[in-house]
Amino acid sequence: MGRYILQRLLATIPVLLGVSVVIFLLLRLIPGDPVVIMIGAENATPEEVTRLRHVLGLDRGLPVQYVKFLGRLVTGDLGTSLSSDEPVRQLIRERLPATIELALAAVVVALVIAIPIGVVSAVRKYSLVDTAGTVAAMLGISMPNFWLGVMLIFLFALRLGWLPASGRGEPVMGGLWTLLTSGNPGALVTAVVHLVLPAVTLGAALAAVVTRLTRSSMLEVIGQDYIRTARAKGLRGSRVVLHHALRNALIPVVTVIGLDLGALLGGAVITETIFAWPGIGRLAIRSIIQRDFPVVQGVVLMIAVVRICANLAVDVIYAIIDPRIRYA
Amino acid sequence: MRSSTRASDTPSARPAEPAARHESYWGAAWRRLCRHHLAMVGLGIIGAIILLAVFAPYVSPADPLAIDYAHTAAPPGAPGHVLGTDAVGRDILARLIYGTRVSLQVGIVAVGIAATLGTAVGLTAGYYGGVVDNVLMRTVDVFLAFPVIVLAIAIIAVLGPSLVNVMIALGLVAWTTYARVVRGQVLILRELDFVQAARAAGTGDARIIVRHILPNALAPIIVLATVGMAAAIIAEAALSFLGLGVQPPTPSWGSMLNEGRAFLRTAPHISTLPGLAIMVTVLGFNFLGDGLRDALDPRL
């Protein structure tokens, strides 16, 4: 197992290097002069162009530029924002917690919706719940999440007025802390009501996938001998389903969520834009519109690294759980 | 594995024999597909969308860019506008019909780029193996590290927003799946007797790949391309929704949805209808994809 994990870790290094090359080339592949495009032709005085080219290191050869870029990357230096002069690292650090909160909330929404429906669909195959779940899952996969977001805003924010249409309250953890220390639930309530619609928007597609997966995984497990043994021992049906079957059926579900984390962050870019959620996705879109390329690079790199780490974590956890997994 | 029945051996116009003894692989697959109800629904939806796109000027009730100043943000059923008008008074039905052109164009070109590039990489990696395989598949890993929409956004950020750039970006982000699946197929196929026989007969690599391996790897490519159309249509709509795709005034479902957001309170149909159009179209491709998967290769 140790050998497998080591090999898996080593295999990540070339991928990380490759990602850094792609991110590096993004800025250099801009047709025309990237500096002129960034600051706009109207502002492109020769002095300004020369200065920026020097700031961005674009006045050296490509290999030299890349080595410098990589050197800075390794020390965590992602460059400086062109529009605000703040370090990109700081911009991301300020906004990353909001994105993580949103992504985790989306996973919670997906699990809360999907696992009960998936389990009931498997246990009561071809029942009303199963059929409705199948149709809902198909719709969930085919529905664009930005449309769902807009429709949720229309219904719950504009028509019913139950939930806010945009923005973020306190961080949920901060709200929880206020509640525990001062007994005042206000901050937590504000945090949660702001989180509901974005989390549902982001979690819906994942819920659809997890519902189908839980169903098929449960069906497979329920057919196995140890479940029959458990039933033969005279255990109650619900106990067999929840304690014996669900536990094993959830393994592939956990895997898919780990592997889907990257896609979730991609979806967060859109969800954050709709709900004015102050995370890294919104930062990315705003930076593209402002042609603030160092920030775009930083966010894209950040998301790719998170995804690589998530995949790595899934593989390593799997190797620990299941001793059969080895490199061939 | 795969047998084919050519119509006849005589030049006379004898009709093709009914598939009694040797039904071709594709014939059998088509028969299985026809029995798949959802796939037929999907095919119907896709057929309708294609017809709308091709005959848009003839079926559209109005010019999608024409502005009716008397009726702005009119609700569905307003005089002269079956599905109402948008905020500046353009006919929504007309814009939805013309929007099929953008969606299908982007889908076809993006999937074309992705399938061609991915298949070429997969064939090369799988057939030659070794260092070539390693380099190509590590490249695939690098691209897989980026979520599709994030990489597409990054590419658009560099190239600038336009219809052509959306097609290029979506093609460049989607090829990895094809490469992986095709490579897997080739690894199996290249060891089979008929490929070994061709090689023993002195057939060149290129010919073996194109004539013997590719035709047998087509089934999963077709399934991926169908589902890929659904993904590309959603992705185009997402990019246009973010203002990074098709630029106004060209009607794209994604940008229509975005334009309606500001009028959500007073005229919710402006955003609702394009969303429904996207969903129905995507559902059609997903249904067909599911059916094709079952019909072409139950193992997939």
Q: State the Cα angle at B135 between B134 and B139, rounded to 5°.
A: 115
Nearest CA in chain B to A17: B142
pLDDT in tens, A242-277: 777 887 788 888 888 887 887 888 888 899 999 999
Q: Is the peptide bond before B251 cis (omega within 30 degrees of 0)?
A: no
**Rounded (5°) CA angle A314-B188-A311:** 10
ipTM: 0.82
**Percent of residues, chain A, with pLDDT higher than 90:** 15
Cβ distance of A151 and B275 shorter than 8 Å:
yes
HSE (side-chain half, CA atoms, 13 Å) at A73: 20
Helix (H, G, I), strand (E, B) or coil at B85: strand
What's chain B's average pLDDT? 85
CA distance B39 to chain A (A): 13
* Contacts with A146 from chain B: Cβ below 8 Å: 237-238, 241, 254, 257
3-state secondary structure of A234: coil
The pLDDT tens digits of the residues spanning B206-231 come to: 899 888 889 888 988 999 999 999 99
Distance of CA B201 to the CA centre of its chain: 38
CB contact under 8 A, A147 and B275: yes
Q: Does A41 touch chain B (CB under 8 A)?
A: no
Most confident segment among A66-70, A235-239, B18-22: A66-70
Query: What distance in Å separates the CA atoms of residue A196 and residue A155, rounded to the nearest whole number?
Result: 13
pLDDT of residue A240: 79
pLDDT at residue B297 greater than cutoff 80? no
Residue among B150, B274, B282 whose CB faces A142 most closely: B282
CA distances from A215 to A118, A211, A226, A256, B38 (A): 4, 6, 18, 14, 20
More confident residue, A252 or B20: A252
Residues of A with Cβ-Cβ distance to B291 under 8 angstroms: none
Q: What is the pLDDT of residue A34?
A: 66
Half-sphere exposure of A156 (CA within 13 A, CB side): 20
Across the interface, whether the CB atoms of A284 and B153 are under 8 A apart is answered: yes
**Other Cβ atoms within 10 Å of A168 Cβ, number:** 21
Q: Please tell me which of the candidates B139, B264, B279 has its beta carbon nearest to residue A142.
A: B279
The residue written with tokens 């790595």 in the block is A312
- Judge whether A295 and B160 are in contact, CB under 8 Å: no
Determine, for residues A144 and B283 on separate chains, whether the beta-carbon distance falls below 8 Å.
no
Q: Which of A42-51, A55-64, A97-106, A123-132 has the highest mean pLDDT?
A: A97-106
pLDDT band at A328 (very low <50, low <70, confident <90, very high): very low
Q: What percent of chain B has pLDDT over 90?
A: 38
Q: Do A143 and B279 touch (CB under 8 A)?
A: yes
* B85: phi then psi, degrees, rounded to nearest 5: -125, 165
Mean pLDDT of A286-307: 86
Position B8 scores a pLDDT of 40
Residues of A in contact with B254 (CB under 8 A): 144, 146
Contact call for B145 and A270, based on CB within 8 A:
no
Measured CA distances, B240 to A122, A146, B157, B162, B258 (Å) = 39, 11, 13, 9, 8
CB contact under 8 A, A262 and B264: no
Question: Which of B158, B276, B283, B293 to mutate to test binding with chain A, by most A CBs within 10 Å of its CB?
Answer: B158
Which domains are seen in chain B, by residue range? 47-63+78-295 (1.10.3720.10)
Interface residue B225 vs chain A (CB under 8 A): no
CA distance B4 to chain A (A): 36
Neighbours of A50 (CB within 10 A): 12
Nearest CA in chain B to A309: B145
CA B278 – CA B286 distance, rounded (Å): 12
Q: Which of A154, A296, A300 sits opposite B264 (nearest CB)?
A: A154
Q: What's the whole-model pTM score?
A: 0.85
Taking a contact as any Cβ pair under 8 Å apart, which residues of chain B between 234 and 253 contact chain A? Answer: 234, 237-238, 241-244
The stretch A126-154 carries a mean pLDDT of 88
B138/A contact by beta carbon, under 8 A: yes
Distance CA A303, CA B260 (A): 30
Cβ within 8 Å, pair B149-A267: yes
CA distance A183 to chain B (A): 37
Q: Which of A26, A270, A308 sits opposite B145 (nearest CB)?
A: A308
Q: Between A145 and A30, where is the model more confident?
A: A145
Could you give the CA distance from residue A299 to residue A315 in angstroms, rounded to a whole number?
A: 25
